[in-house]
Amino acid sequence: MQVKLSDVIDALSITDDEVQYFYNVSSGEIEGNFDDDDEDDDEVNEIGEYIALPPSYKIDDY
């Protein structure tokens, strides 16, 4: 699957301590996981289906 670079850049620019974004390997989409949304935790934790984008503290703006 392919993902648009602009989608990745958008997700990285709005990520913070409460939201983490993942690349869904099967659909090719970038999806967000919000801390207050416990329903999606099991789905996001499935091995191999999602690739986590870096969290906000690992992104260097320089």
**pLDDT-flagged residues of the chain (< 50):** none
SS3 label, residue 35? coil
SS3 label, residue 7? helix
**Residue 21 neighbours by CB distance under 10 Å:** 20
| pLDDT at 6 (0 to 100) | 92
What are the residue ranges spanned by the domains of the chain? 5-54
Name the DSSP class of 42.
Answer: H
